[in-house]
Amino acid sequence: MDGERGDSRLAHGHEYADGETIESKRSGAKRLGMAFETLEVSVEDGIATVRLDNDPVNAIDQQMRHELAEAVDVLREDRVRVGVFTGADDVFSVGADVGLFEEAQSWTTAEFRSNSRILGRAFEGLEEIEKPVLAALDGTCVGGGLELALACDVRIASPDATLGFPEHNIGLIPGLGGCSRFVTLVGPGIAKDMIFSGELVDGERAREIGLVERVESDPKAAALEYADSLCERPPQAVGLAKRVVNAARETDTQTAGLLESYAQSTLLETADHREGIRAFREKRDPEFTGE
């Protein structure tokens, strides 16, 4: 996996060809008891890495739609503290396979919406899970690929990455967050301008308009380093911060403040809070357990 965290090609079932179980591999890179064809998924030291692996351009076809939903289930596992999505060096994802839209011409509108919900629920799952999810964006990241990145919490792009929504080229709009999530990051003016024109921007411009949070020469390495540091943070505090910030995006300030208060009162009762206080008094690094 180009130096990533362990071999992640998955075997069918919950037992590997060498007879080892998932439990017997917990001390090393984790391989999962399900088969993926368009993704590489691994878990090591609390970090779940999901690499899009659907040559040649990581198109989100029917298989990947279902597998992304399964990958979100992996991120929900207790052993995972942080999720990282990556692609290839020259392409994160070009979005939906055009062939899928050709096939969809024979579907009813109800069938199309049902199919879209597969991917939509995966994106919603990434937003709702109480764990940070990072997207490392290198090369081309457009259409549904960018919508996947928008569902993550922090986007890290290379300076020469290519980002945008070219859906108008086939007479469509960004339909799974490219309008709704995009506008919350960049504002309605820039969102409409980029969607109307189909303009593609590089990583530096994406950071200027608020589409990505960080620009790094090696986004994957930067994301994994960031994920490592997040694993040292108190999981409940990080997770609740994500939930409150996301909720604040969709509600009034008074209600959001109430949610903050409830979250804080919950965290005051955690072992991690007590450990943080002890570590501060003892002038040492805290060891958070998530309890």
According to DSSP, residue 15 is labeled B
**Per the domain annotation, does 3 fall within a domain?**
no
Which of these is catalytic: 4, 40, 67, 167?
Answer: 167
> Are 187 and 247 found together in one domain?
no
* Predicted confidence band of residue 34 (pLDDT cuts 50, 70, 90): low
> Are 224 and 253 found together in one domain?
no
> Are 74 and 154 found together in one domain?
yes
Question: Tokens for 153?
Answer: 């919490």
**Per the domain annotation, does 251 fall within a domain?**
yes
**Per the domain annotation, does 268 fall within a domain?**
yes
> Are 207 and 241 found together in one domain?
no
**Per the domain annotation, does 86 fall within a domain?**
yes
Domains of the chain: total: 2
According to DSSP, residue 30 is labeled B
Query: For residue range 3-27, what is the model confidence (pLDDT) as tens digits?
Result: 333 333 333 333 333 333 333 333 3
Q: Is 147 a catalytic residue?
A: yes
- Residue 250: CB partners within 8 Å, gap ≥ 6? none
> Are 163 and 259 found together in one domain?
no
Q: What is the mean pLDDT of the chain?
A: 85
> Are 207 and 257 found together in one domain?
no
> Are 215 and 256 found together in one domain?
no
Dihedral, CA of residue 228, residue 234, residue 236 and residue 241, to nearest 10? -80
> Are 51 and 165 found together in one domain?
yes
160 in Cβ contact with 218 (< 8 Å): no
**Per the domain annotation, does 246 fall within a domain?**
yes
CA dist list (Å): 13 to 4, 34, 65, 97, 232? 23, 6, 20, 29, 32
> Are 206 and 252 found together in one domain?
no
Higher pLDDT, 227 or 283: 227
**Per the domain annotation, does 53 fall within a domain?**
yes
Average of per-residue pLDDT across 76-102? 90
Average of per-residue pLDDT across 57-77? 94
The whole-number pLDDT of residue 4 equals: 37
**Per the domain annotation, does 13 fall within a domain?**
no
Domain that residue 39 falls in: 23-230
> Are 214 and 261 found together in one domain?
no
The whole-number pLDDT of residue 22 equals: 32
Average of per-residue pLDDT across 42-71? 94
Query: For residue range 180-215, what is the model confidence (pLDDT) as tens digits?
Result: 999 999 999 999 999 999 999 999 999 999 999 999
Q: Is 167 a catalytic residue?
A: yes
SS3 172: coil
The whole-number pLDDT of residue 32 equals: 55
> Are 28 and 155 found together in one domain?
yes
Higher pLDDT, 45 or 289: 45
Query: For residue range 153-179, what is the model confidence (pLDDT) as tens digits?
Result: 999 999 999 999 998 888 888 888 889
In the listed set 230, 253, 273, which residue is the last one of a domain according to the structure?
230
Residue 256: give its domain's CATH number. Answer: 1.10.12
**Per the domain annotation, does 259 fall within a domain?**
yes
Average of per-residue pLDDT across 118-147? 95
> Are 224 and 247 found together in one domain?
no
- Tell whether pTM > 0.75: yes
Residue 121: give its domain's CATH number. Answer: 3.90.226.10
Which of these is catalytic: 4, 40, 147, 216?
Answer: 147
